Amino acid sequence: MAGYDPEKDKKLNEWKCEETGLILSIHQYADGEPKLQIGPRVLKKKDGTDRAPSKAGRLSIEDVMWIYDIIDEVKDELSDVVGPE
């Protein structure tokens, strides 16, 4: 059985909450079904540059409200790439 191949892992779309650094993205591995990923979280350093990505961890109310605001767009995009069942 072959291991993970990063060449087969495609990011199809991405949304980032500027306030909290949380990232939602749609990924597809090889010919598999596209799926939504919650995280990582990319926070800013004091100088304004990005820190290293970290796990999303627990979601704040700001994260939840941001997801609530964009969920229809995310759902539509995921539905478009998954196609009819």
Using pLDDT thresholds of 50, 70 and 90, give the confidence band for residue 2. Answer: confident
State percent of the chain over pLDDT 70. Answer: 96
Give the sign of the dihedral formed by CA 52, CA 74, CA 12, CA 8: positive
Mean pLDDT (the chain) is 94
Write out the residue range of the structural domain in which residue 66 sits.
8-82
Overall number of domains in the chain: 1
* DSSP alpha helix (H) spans, 1-85: 61-82
Domain contains 41: yes
Domain contains 2: no
Is residue 83 over pLDDT 80?
A: no
Its pTM stands at 0.86
Is residue 38 over pLDDT 70?
A: yes
